[in-house]
Amino acid sequence: MLAETHVTLERTSDLAEAPFRAAFQSLRLPVLIVDPHRARAPIVFANEAIFALTGYSPDEVLGQSWRFLQAAGAETASLDAVDAALHRGEAFETEFLCGRKDGSSFWSSLALSPVHDEAGHLRSVTVLLHDVSAKKQVDQDLIETKPFPEDQIERRIQDLQTALEQKTVLLHEVEHRVKNSLQMTASLVLLKARRLQNPEARKVLQEVAERVGALSAAHRLLYAAGDVSRFNLKEFTSELADELIMALPKGQIDLILDIQPVDVPASKAAALALLLNEVIGNAVKHAFPNGRRGQLTIQIGRAENGLKIAVEDDGVGLDHSPPPEGSFGRTLIMMLVQQLKGRLTWRDREPGTRAEIVMPVDAEETQFE
C-alpha cells in the first residue's frame, strides 16, 4: 500500500498551487485531484500518467467522479469506504479492480491525501494510484499453487522485492518533487516581499515564506532519511531552532535541547513542522526584545498519553509572549494543536514563558530509540 502523504498548503494566492500541479503533472505515478465539496466529488485535475494507464482522454476524465475507474465486479463496500473518507477529508488506502477504456481491467492501490489550508478547512483531496496487478498475481499464485521448487520460490521473492522497490522509488519521487515545489514557492514569496514598500505587508510575506520553508524542511528530511513513512522529530527540531536563532545577534540566546530520538508517522510531519515553527519562532521573536539575553530550552519526549513538546524561555513573560489572542500566529498554533488532537498550556515562569503541548500518539505509530 502507498504510504499516507498529508500536505497542508498556505492559501495566500493561486501562486502556491501552480508548482504542485506542475510537479504532479510530470510524475509517472497516476494522480487525480478531486473536489470533495461538490456532488460526486468531480475530478478537477489529472496528470498524464492517468491517461496512459486507463486509455481515457482528458475530456473523458475531468469533471467525472473518480468511480469512472471502477471495473465491473469491483467490490462496492471498498468503493463506498473511499467515498466516505473522501467527503470527510480523511486519509484512506485500499485496493480495488480498475477498468480501462478498452475493457481490460487491472488491480490498483489507491491512497487519499486530504489537502487543508492554514485555517484547517478542507480544500481538495489528492488521489494516488499504483498498478499492483503483478503483486496481486504473485499473491494469488502463492495461495493457489502447491509448494514450489526452490528456484521458483526465489524468483517469486525477487518479483515481490522488485515491486516493493518500484513503489519506494515512486514515493521518494513524490516527496522530492513536493520538497522542490515548496522551496520554489518560498523563494517566490520572499522575492515578492523584498519588492514591497509597505513594512507590514513585507513582514506578512516573510512569515509566509518561513512557514513554507518549515514544510520544505520536513519533506527534505523525509526524502533524505530513506524512509518516507517516518519523520525524525529530533533532527527537524534541532535544525529549525538553529535556523531561527541565527536571525538574532550571535550569543544573545543560549539554546538547550533535550530531545529524545523519536520518529512519528509522516502523516503528522506537516502539522508538527508548522507547529514547532510557530511555537519556537514565537519565543525567539517575542521573548527577548531590544537585545535582551536569555536561554531557550526545547524538550521533546514521552508523555503518559503520548508525546510531549515543551518550549521554555526566561524572557519577558506572558505580558509580551505569546502574541495576543486573535493574532494569526496564535490562531494557527491552536488550529494545529486541534488537528493533532493535542492539548496546549501556556505558563508564566517569572521570568519567562513555557508552552507545553501534549498530543496522543499510538504506541505503534511512535518509535523512541
Cell of 46: 489529472
Instruction: Give 108's contacts (C-beta < 8 A, 6+ positions apart).
Output: 69, 95, 96, 97, 98, 129, 130, 131, 132, 133
**Lowest-confidence pick of 8-17, 101-110, 179-188:** 8-17
Peptide bond into 322 cis (omega under 30): yes
Rounded percentage of the chain residues whose pLDDT exceeds 70: 75
Q: How many residues does the chain have?
A: 369
* Banded pLDDT at 176 (limits 50, 70, 90): low
Question: Mean pLDDT, to the nearest integer, of 25-43?
Answer: 86
Question: Mean pLDDT, to the nearest integer, of 194-210?
Answer: 79
* Banded pLDDT at 213 (limits 50, 70, 90): confident
pLDDT at residue 356, as a whole number:
92
Phi/psi of residue 172, nearest 5 degrees: -60, -40
Instruction: Give 346's contacts (C-beta < 8 A, 6+ positions apart).
Output: 318, 322, 353, 354, 355
**How far is residue 40's CA from residue 19's CA, in Å, rounded to a whole number?**
27
Quick check: 112 pLDDT over 70?
A: yes
pLDDT at residue 63, as a whole number:
92
Question: Mean pLDDT, to the nearest integer, of 297-314?
Answer: 88
Quick check: 364 pLDDT over 50?
A: no
* Banded pLDDT at 201 (limits 50, 70, 90): confident
pLDDT at residue 40, as a whole number:
85
Quick check: 329 pLDDT over 50?
A: yes
Rounded percentage of the chain residues whose pLDDT exceeds 90: 12
> DSSP letters of 213-236?
HHHHHHHHHHHHHS-TTEEEHHHH
β 105-116/7-8 pair status = parallel
Q: Tell me the average pLDDT of the chain.
A: 77
Cell of 271: 502539522
pLDDT tens digits for 133-163? 777 666 555 555 555 566 666 777 777 777 7
Question: Mean pLDDT, to the nearest integer, of 29-49?
Answer: 89
C-alpha distances out from residue 249 to 89, 317, 322, Å: 44, 21, 21
Question: Mean pLDDT, to the nearest integer, of 162-183?
Answer: 64
Cell of 49: 500518467
229-368, what's its fold? Answer: Heat Shock Protein 90 (3.30.565)
Class (C level, CATH) for 7-145? alpha beta
CA-based nearest residue to 264, from 361, 196, 348:
361
pLDDT at residue 56, as a whole number:
92
pLDDT at residue 325, as a whole number:
43
pLDDT at residue 135, as a whole number:
72
* Banded pLDDT at 165 (limits 50, 70, 90): low
**How far is residue 179's CA from residue 171's CA, in Å, rounded to a whole number?**
12
C-alpha distances out from residue 229 to 223, 263, 336, Å: 10, 10, 20
The Cβ of residue 170 has, within 10 Å, a number of other Cβ atoms equal to: 17
**How far is residue 23's CA from residue 217's CA, in Å, rounded to a whole number?**
17
Quick check: 29 pLDDT over 70?
A: yes
Instruction: Sketch the domain layout of the chain as residue ranges.
Output: 7-145, 229-368
Question: Mean pLDDT, to the nearest integer, of 244-259?
Answer: 88
